[in-house]
Structure 1
Amino acid sequence: MNSNNKEVKLSRTNKEKYKIIFLLAMPAVIENFFQTILGFVDTYFVSKIGLAEVSAVGVTNAVLAIYFALFMAIGVAANVRIANFLGAQQPEKARHIGQQSIVLSILFGILTGIITLFFAEPLLKIMGIEDNVLEAGVSYFKIVAIPSVFMSLMFVLSAILRGAGDTKSPMKVSILINVVNVILDYVLIFGFWLIPDLGITGAAIATVFSRLVGSFALLYYIQRKEVLKFRRDYWAPDKQHLWELSTLGSPAAGERLVMRLGQIVYFGFVVSLGTNTFAAHQIAGNVEVFSYMIGYGFATAATILVGQQIGAGKIDEARNYAKMCTILSAVAMTVLGSLLFFLGDWAGSFFTDDPEVISNIGTALKISGVFQPFLAVLLILTGAFQGANNTKFPMYLTAIGMWAVRTVLVYVLGIQLGWGLAGVWIAIGLDISLRAIILAIQFYRGKWTSVKKEDVESQCHPQTTKETMSGCANNY
């Protein structure tokens, strides 16, 4: 009798956990869907101007990805520490570190804007960009990246809300900026009434204005949330919190910088295959990213829930949530992978009538579809490691994967063996698979968190009880 009751209770607990995961993941999935639509629409409209313009935007975004690495690192650190503090019932620390992360994001946003102002052309030339693409690329790059502060704020403000368990507000903002961007893209790229057609310049202006709107909308949602509402005295620089953000964020920044720098190198290899091949690579990437929306959604849930349970001293619960998120994501992304495999050529036909480009897009997406389950494991476990305050191991792993596996294999398979774009995407898939397997092994061995149970328990609020240590997750 007692055994049956125990089983029923366990089943109910698991159902509650799955409900929590879905409540956190689904808004993040929807947000990622609309973020994906944003890139999809931009690429679609720009492709109507010409493939050279598609390449210009693609090369620019490869450089911008380095900026994103810095901004996302601040966001990762803010997300994790806010979740930790709320799990440990320390809301004022969560509020304080949230504001400190905003200060840091503004400083980095201004810095990257200044770098763009003076070094836009040299940065794009590093990519080996062709002359017919360079002028358009520089123009687009300057308009989009000089006001980088809005880009930075978008990353960090969204991360702050997610750290507090609010994935719905970033989702709403994502929908809003998509509507704004689509309207402005059409009007400014092709012209409307008294507004002249601005081409790729119009696409850049639409992107910047959308980010401006998104930044103010996210600030509005933060101010509405009592646990995050700004306090004037929390804007003054705080050494302790800035150090926490830096020490936790630096490996995350290192991971993304290593990835983006490696990406620039192998993008250079792809560019050497020709403008049309690189355009096919970019278009395939914009289609493939639809599969990422599921993975990033569940990775968001994993980071939040693992972070809260770590803050509450419940490492076993954190591990359980990470496993559940991984399984759900792997199943969903396998289904999406099959769609990429069978519908890749059809998707490519939306962007161009060139049969060779369409064929290359289809080949790339078939290869991508095969590796989707590994991508799911990689994304979720990376989020779980970060939620467990272990940002160093993913950084080391990314460095090895990007430079010793992906970049080398892109050159060998794509250039030396003459496999072209197929070789490039096989190299990417092998890198993803290797890193996913290593993360899974580390997770299985219990070497995935940088803190011990006794350490996190000692950080909890002295008034925390067994019931309240579950943190914010129980409020969803």
Structure 2
Amino acid sequence: MELDKKMKLGRLTWPIMIEMFLAFAIGTSDTLMVSRISDDAVAVVGFSNQFFNAVIVVFMLVASGAGILIANRLGAGDAYAARKLAIVSVVLTGAIGLVVSLLMVFGAGQIAGWLGMPPDIRPLANDYMSIVGGGMIFTAIGNALSTAVRNTGNTRSPMYIAIMMNVVHIFLNALFIFGLLGFPKWGLFGVALSTLFVRAASVVLLLYVFRSAFGGRIGFREFLRPDWSRSREILRIGWPLSMNGGSWQLSQLAITGLIGVMGAQQLAARTYMNTMESFAFTIGWSFAMAVQILIAYLFGQGKLREAYRSAYRAMGYGMAFVLFNTALMLLFRKQIITFFTADPWIVDMAIVLLWLNLILQPGKMLNMALGQSIVAVGDSRYMMKISIPSQWLVSVGLAYLLGIRLGWGLYGVYAGMILDEYIRGAVLYLRWRHHRKRGLFADHGDLRAGALAPAKGGLQA
């Protein structure tokens, strides 16, 4: 079957990896170009993007739950149900995105204050957050469209669109920031406009692909009459996943707020480190996303043994790539960091944090591979129950205790993040093995209720 050929770990992973690297490249180009404006501008972009990432997780409430179910239904041979689920996902996510956009257009300044953004950079943040935040409806719809398309096994089309948008974004940044070809030098305002345009254009292209992703072409009238009965099963899978992801993003916002208390230099250093760490994170998350699609599909087919083993394969490959990538950054650490900033304090701090990153990234990979595997079989509630307490008590708690109270600064922040990743990773590993020993997911309530019931029934020992 053609779909079976698409649903291979390698074939799913590499387009996702390229797409995510290009998304990372957009963020890097923003940080690099904005760094030519000022370190304050970099701090605004970094702080704002932490908030926007937290908002994007809300969209996952629908998009990710639908994505898992789409792959599962396709594995079970029910393309009609997959189509209906995808349409509901786009409509619901778009509605949430519209509400968020309106809140950002009229309340960006107040939100920046609530988040604890340093007062001296709030005026700069207000314009950036209102423009980029006002376009969150495009981010929401784009997220739903790309998730649905990827879960049909078509991971290449979103990649091609990302390539085009990456080129356009860099070009527009050059025009709007530096005033090339006679354009005015708009600085950070120009970065915001460029981001808004690229996200809107991405939606148009993704919608074109989406309409043909489920066999017969989807008519626009179908978006006006979604099958709302499907929303319940989407939310049953999606809400714990969204709560978990939202909690993680909010915990990162809390940590960023704590770093903001430490000072502008520390905040800028963390922003640069986020950019560099994304290099390793992107590779690991690509394997995790691919294995989630694969396991949901295999589970729909009833190929449970293969689904179980796929988690370990993704973890192994991902770990190797992540460690290699992190080691490469360490090898060229001086050249990479000084490319972003000449501040000697930030350079010295970032070099030390890169060494800590060598410990952090394997823990992240363990978490990502097993976490997405557990989610793919409907066990998202367990991951939520384990992850949220660890994120706040360990990661945020130690960031405050070690970083501020004991004066360790960014070292204390990283100590908390490292311990949090390994605690959650170890618990998820035990959970995955627990499912195997108990008959490979047979005892999970959501599965008995039919949320992700294997098409063939029974278990493969």
Give the shorter-chain TM-score range: over 0.9
Q: Which residue of 2 aligns with 1:172?
A: 160
Q: Against the structure 1 CA distance between its residues 73 and 365, is the aligned structure 2 distance closer, same or farther, given a 3 Å change threshold?
A: farther
Aligned to 1:191: 179
**1:4 aligned partner:** none
- Check the 8 A contact 1:75/1:160 in 2, yes or no: yes
**Secondary structure class of the residue paired with 1:230:** coil
Q: 1:216 aligns with which of 204, 216, 224?
A: 204
Structure 2 equivalent of residue 250 of structure 1? 239
Q: Is the 8 A contact 1:337 1:371 kept in 2?
A: no
Mapping of residues 10-409 of structure 1, within 5 Å: 20-227=8-215, 229-231=217-219, 232-233=221-222, 235-409=224-398
Amino acid paired to 2:346: V
Matches of 1:300 and 1:391 in 2, distance apart? Answer: 15
Secondary structure of the 2:116 match is coil
**C-alpha separation in 1, matches of 2:334 and 2:240:** 38
1:436 corresponding residue in structure 2: 425
d(CA) in 2 for partners of 1:26, 1:224: 22
1:312·1:457 contact (CA, 8 Å) conserved in 2?
no
Contact 1:313 1:457 (C-alpha < 8 Å) held by counterparts: no
Residue identity in the other structure for 2:380: T
Q: CA deviation at 1:132?
A: 2.1
TM-score for the superposition, normalised by structure 1: 0.89
1:456: how far off? Answer: 6.0
Provide closer, same or farther for how the CA distance between residues 196 and 274 of structure 1 changes in structure 2, counting only shifts above 3 A.
Answer: same
Is 1:294–1:332's contact at 8 Å kept on the other side of the alignment? yes
**Of 405, 408, 418, which aligns to 1:416?**
405
Match of 1:9 in 2: none
The question of whether the paired residues in 1 share the 8 Å contact of 2:72 and 2:297 is answered with: yes
Cα displacement (A) at 1:321: 1.3
Q: Distance in 2 between matches of 1:267 and 1:152?
A: 24
Greater shift, 412-421 or 452-461, is seen at 452-461
Residue 7 of structure 1 is matched in structure 2 by none
Higher mean alpha-carbon deviation, 335-344 vs 122-131, is at 335-344
Q: Deviations over 1:74-96 (max 9, x none)?
A: 22112101001001100000001
Gapped regions of structure 1 (runs ≥ 5): 1-15, 471-476
Q: Is the 8 A contact 1:340 1:369 kept in 2?
A: no
> Do the aligned residues in 1 keep the contact of 2:97 with 2:139 (CA within 8 Å)?
yes
Q: Measure, in 2, the Cα distance between the counterparts of 1:210 and 1:89.
A: 35
Do the aligned residues in 2 keep the contact of 1:315 with 1:453 (CA within 8 Å)?
A: no
SS of equivalent to 2:128:
helix
Alpha-carbon shift at residue 225 of structure 1 (Å): 2.8
| 1:445 equivalent in alignment to 2:422 | no
Please say if residues 248 and 388 of structure 2, whose CA atoms lie closer than 8 Å, have aligned partners that are also in contact.
yes
Q: 2:363 and 2:226 mapped to 1: Cα distance? A: 41
The separation in 2 between residues aligned to 1:429 and 1:386, in whole angstroms, is 22
Change (3 A) 1:342 1:127: farther
The superposition leaves residues 147-174 of structure 1 with CA deviations (integer Å, 9 ceiling, x where unpaired) of: 2110101211110011111111111111
Task: Percent identity, please.
Answer: 27
Paired residues of 1:344 and 1:366 also in contact (CA < 8 A): no
CA distance in 1, matches of 2:87, 2:6: 31
What is the CA–CA distance in structure 2 between the aligned matches of 1:457 and 1:230, rounded to whole Å? 25
Amino acid at match of 2:159: M
Q: CA, structure 1 residues 280+228, in 2 after alignment: closer, same or farther (shift >3 Å)?
A: farther
Give the letter for the 1:135 counterpart: P
Residues 85 and 91, structure 1, Cα contact 8 Å, conserved in 2: yes
1:279-311 CA-partner distances (Å, limit 9, x unpaired): 010011101101012111111111111101121
**C-alpha contact (below 8 Å) 2:6/2:12 kept by paired residues:** no
Q: Taking structure 1 as reference, are residues 262 and 19 closer, same or farther at Cα in structure 2, changes over 3 Å only?
A: closer
Change (3 A) 1:282 1:332: same
Residue pair 1:154, 1:218 contacting (<8 A) in 2 also: yes
Which residue of structure 2 aligns with residue 11 of structure 1? none
Give 2:427's aligned amino acid.
Answer: I
Query: C-alpha distance in 2, partners of 1:300/1:31?
Result: 12
Distance 2:222 2:23 in 1: 34
Q: Conserved in 2, the CA contact under 8 Å of 1:313 and 1:453?
A: no
Query: SS of the counterpart of 2:379?
Result: coil
What CA distance in whole angstroms lies between the structure 1 residues aligned with 2:69 and 2:416? Answer: 35
Any unmatched runs of 5+ in structure 2? none
Q: Give, in whole Å, the separation in 2 of the partners of 1:458 and 1:225.
A: 21
Rounded to whole Å, the distance in 2 between the matches of 1:431 and 1:375 is 9
> C-alpha separation between the residues in 1 aligned to 2:431 and 2:322?
22
Any conservation in 2 of the 1:414–1:421 contact (CA below 8 Å)? yes
Q: After TM superposition, give the deviation of residue 58 of structure 1 in Å.
A: 1.3
Cα contact 2:79–2:214 (8 A) shared by 1: no
Asked whether the equivalents of residues 259 and 399 of structure 1 are also in contact (C-alpha less than 8 Å), the reply is: yes
| CA deviations over 1:216-260 (Å, ceiling 9, x no partner) | 111111223343731434641433211112221111111122112
Q: CA deviation at 1:19?
A: 9.1
Aligned counterparts of 1:177 and 1:17: Cα–Cα separation in 2 = 28
- Cα deviation for residue 53 of structure 1 reads 0.6
* 1:297 alignment partner AA: S
Cα deviation 1:386-431 (Å, max 9, x = unaligned):
1111211222222112111000111122112222112212221111
Return the letter of the residue paired with 1:114: L
Moved more, 445-454 or 254-263: 445-454
User: Could you tell me how far 1:459 is from its partner in structure 2?
Assistant: 5.3
Q: Distance in 1 between matches of 2:7 and 2:197?
A: 36
Provide closer, same or farther for how the CA distance between residues 106 and 17 of structure 1 changes in structure 2, counting only shifts above 3 A: closer
TM-score normalised to structure 2 length: 0.92
Please tell me the root mean square deviation across aligned C-alpha atoms, in Å.
2.5
